[in-house]
Amino acid sequence: MNMMVPPSHNSLHYFCQILLSLVLLSLHMLTPLEAYGSKVEHLPGFQGPLPFELETGYVGLGEANDDMQVFYYFVKSESNPQKDPLMLWITGGPGCSSISGLLYQIGPVAFENKEYDGSVPSLVSRPQSWTKLCSIIFVDLPLGTGFSYAKNVTAHRSDWKLVRDAHQFLRKWLIDHPEFLSNEFYIAADSYSGIPVPALVQEISNGNEKGLQPLINLKGYLLGNPLTTFKEQNYQIPYAHGMGLISDELYASLQRNCKGEYIDVDSGNELCLRDLQYFHECLSGINTFNILDSYCEDDPHLWRRSLIQELKSSPSSHLKVPELSCQIYSFYLTTKWANEESVRKALHIREGTIGKWERCYMNDFEYDIFGSVEFHANLSKKGYRSLIYSGDHDAVVPFISTQAWIRNLNYSIVDDWRPWFVNGQVGGYTRTYSNQMTFVTVKGSGHTAPEYTPDQCFGMFTRYYLTLKLMAQRLNSFLVFQGPLPFELETGYVGLGETDDDMQVFYYFVKSENNPQKDPLILWLSGGPGCSSFSGLAHQIGPFAFEIKEYNGSVPSLVLRPHSWTKLSSIMFVDLPLGSGFSYAKNVTAHRSDWKLVHHTHQFLRKWLIDHPEFLPNEFYIGADSYSGIPVPPILQEISNGNEKGLQPLINLQGYLLGNPFTTHKEYNYRIQYAHGMGLISDELYSSLQRNCKGEYIHVDSKNELCSKDLRSFDELLSGINMDNILDSLCEDDMRRRRRPLTRELIPSLSSHLTVPEISCYIYGFYLSATWSNNESVRQALHIREGTVGKWYRCYNTDFEKEIFSSVEFHANLSKKGYRSLIYSGVLDAIVPFMSTQAWIRDLNYSTVDDWRPWFVNGQVGGYTRTCSNRMTFATVKGSGHTAPADAPEQCFAMFTRWISNLPL
């Protein structure tokens, strides 16, 4: 192996190198325009003195002093600039200013996100700046980018010219800054710069080997969501499928008709071209830089381009004001800031060198490097370290394409696929190879990962630079509602037994806030089995929610929920099965099974309607989620059968709604495929699981040791993931529910959450629920019968008998009877993955009347939907987990509103 070893700091050779550099510097200073760097004393928009040292300047590259001038921003390490690494940062595009890295991603300042008032945009400190640990040169290349300029810009804009200009810039800059010659040196970049940067690293290495002065202490490079080969864009189709953006049918058709080639498609292949057109339509409203982020109309070239076109950034200056909530609002602020005269003076910009500053300038760029894989391979042979990281919600350069070219390097694995952690939470997944290359996914992040998830990326960067492994560490009342209630609430009991106190079902009933005489009536059951319907009332679709603030010992405060489904319907939230919430029975255990839950719900409903005859004409629906996907279809069938038999009172049954519904125990098998599609397990483990388990991951033959081994690896990898929402925090308070392996059955926690979880945890609301419901004044206000139940538990699943193992046949029967249904899935739910729900719906074998397409809320994609001829509508909800209305209330309210009003989503 021909590895260049940097000279020792104490060697005579190193002393001579410094001496030579000083001589070159003295000669260099004879041409004052060729290099120029000045300290920035203040930044307009930043209050007070700068808490870091910033230098800006130019380095001349041409034969004449002013032929080609490269502008840079240099921030010294805030820790120990004498010893900390030195990094050169190049932003992608090609042709986007490095100010993108400085102000949006890894620099020490950022724009304050507030409405522009005409003054200089305000800057604030970024606590996760990478300059905490290293010195960074942010350089505007290629020429014509940012504040860099040349006499003939067009002549200097290509991949290879960028490589050579950056190489020349770096050596000249180090001659001017010899104090950094001994520091370890890295190059970092993102996006399109994944093409030229590996070539640049190789050029620097080759220069060192040839003895070019000054020698550079090159150690490696970092690339974020890097474009590496234009062919890798073929992976955008399987990525979109894995993330639930296109249907199974379209994906299968694309595979069949295009045969894996989605870029250079034969113009005569009409079937492939038709599928690709449909693909574009499905993703036309998606922010491809982060599929969970808003799609903003201000920059159609950047945010609405076809996924299979070349990666190009918009030249837009963003002088049209985008929405404040849009990511590109910061681009608008940057343009305002960089074109301020006071800012240009502070940055020492040479007058008359450039006109209006643009964030990205990509005119006349020549693409003459079509892949960088060979450079990665060469650099690996030379022993340079590399960190390749991918935001897992980037659809421009999907993580699976990056995995693919790394895998094709064919290096052995020294640290296999596993989660890495930040503050006890999974930050993503990682693998390290024998060529000193580390691959990392960043959970919940997009194309510019440090911009979306600064804490995770700073943790990743810190460990990488400190040469630490990214280790997977196991850490191991309405009485306080301000003012009168703006809705009508009734609570009570319905007795089911032969005697008055034999079996008592508790309910909360909220009248529609619109027109209760005509609006639909809904019965809501929570999942579990055995979770109180208070979960639906207070945490998902009811008119109030807990105010999330530190508990002070008083009754937890309630606030109004603006997206309550009671705006359009009357809802009774029922505590069933018996033993749930405030429901009770003399012998609870004898009444806890699937079929008893079915019969009790049917009996409850008819008795409740006898007591509330004014609601008999209203259209009636049942809504539920999670485990209730098993008993609810049989409940509907029993109600329908009762109507047909003439049971009184007749119920105006119209249909049902199910969220992330458990439907068949076999659908757990889809969790493996889901975890792979979401980037939680490696390609290799997925292939091994398929090969060794043959699609059966639940009832595994005890002699099948290979499958069992793979499943153990699978469970270990996901042990730190919150399966209710894979992007949410995993909280230690409820390990039985939150940390169970995905291959085990759905078992909710018995915990009443009286131990205090972190306030940032989703389950903090459950803690407030338990505290509130066990308060004596609350029980009195709710009219809870004294002595009937002891401590209130959100979920109680003891002694529940599971007798119904699939509800698919009931869906089929209800479809034949013409009942409407809405089945919705939060796409981030790993408990009941959307693809398993799609599968059983597909198996019903009904024709499609409204095929797979996006549905929108306020101009943004809310998810995807399809309606079948059996009046069943399936919808995914973007960015939400197992209880979708809790995670995405606005989207779910819009979905519910349209469906309940018989309108298309």
Catalytic residues: 191, 394, 447
558-560 and 544-546 beta bridge pairing: antiparallel
Contact predicate 668/644, CB 8 Å: no
Tokens of 721: 């993931």
How is residue 532 annotated by DSSP?
Answer: -
* CA atoms 345, 347, 352, 358: torsion sign: negative
Tokens found for residue 518 = 């005509």
Task: Kindly state the tokens that stand for 128.
Answer: 């996760």
The residue type found at 812 is: A
Cα–Cα distance, 59 to 62 (Å, whole number)? 10
Token pair belonging to 389 = 């990281």
Long-range pairs, 484-487, Cβ under 8 A, ≥24? 486/513, 486/543, 486/560, 487/511, 487/513, 487/543, 487/564, 487/566
21 by DSSP, 3-state: which?
helix
Structure tokens at 692: 């060794």
Which residue's entry shows tokens 């003054």?
Answer: 119
Query: What is the residue type of 453?
Result: T
Encoding tokens for residue 409? 């390097």
SS (H, E, C) 661-697: CCCEHHHHHHHHHHHHHCCCCCHHHHHHHHHHHCCCC
Alpha-helical runs (H) found in 142-227: 159-176, 196-210
Residue of 326, 460, 302, 264 whose CA lies nearest to 396: 302
Show the CA angle centred on residue 393, arms to residues 244 and 250, nearest 5°: 25
Dihedral (Cα; 670, 674, 680, 682), 10-degree rounding = 80
| DSSP-derived pairing of the beta strands 86-90 and 135-139 | parallel
Residue that has been written with the tokens 């060729």 in this structure: 34
Other beta carbons within 10 angstroms of residue 101's beta carbon come to 28
Which of 742, 718, 722 lies closest to 734 in space, CA to CA? Answer: 722
Residue spans of alpha helices (H) in 466-560: 534-539
Beta bridge partners of residue 718, listed in sequence order = none
94, 207 contact by CB (below 8 A): no
- Angle CA 186–192–194, to nearest 5: 40
CA angle 161, 164, 170 (to 5 degrees): 135
Q: Which two tokens stand for residue 112?
A: 């304050």
Q: Tell me the C-alpha to C-alpha distance, in Å, between residue 352 and each of 55, 147, 341, 344, 874.
A: 21, 11, 12, 11, 59
Give the side-chain half-sphere CA count within 13 A for 606.
Answer: 18
Instruction: Report DSSP state, residue 781.
Output: H
HSE at residue 187, side-chain half, CA atoms within 13 A, is 26
261 CA to centre of own chain: 27
Question: Three-state SS for 462?
Answer: helix
CA geometry: angle 40, 46, 49, nearest 5 deg:
55
CA 315 centroid distance within chain: 27
Tell me the two tokens of residue 652.
Answer: 């105006």
Question: What is d(CA 430, CA 438) in angstroms, rounded to the nearest whole number?
Answer: 7
CA 711 to each of CA 418, 421, 576, 697: distance values in angstroms, whole numbers, following the listed order? 14, 21, 34, 8
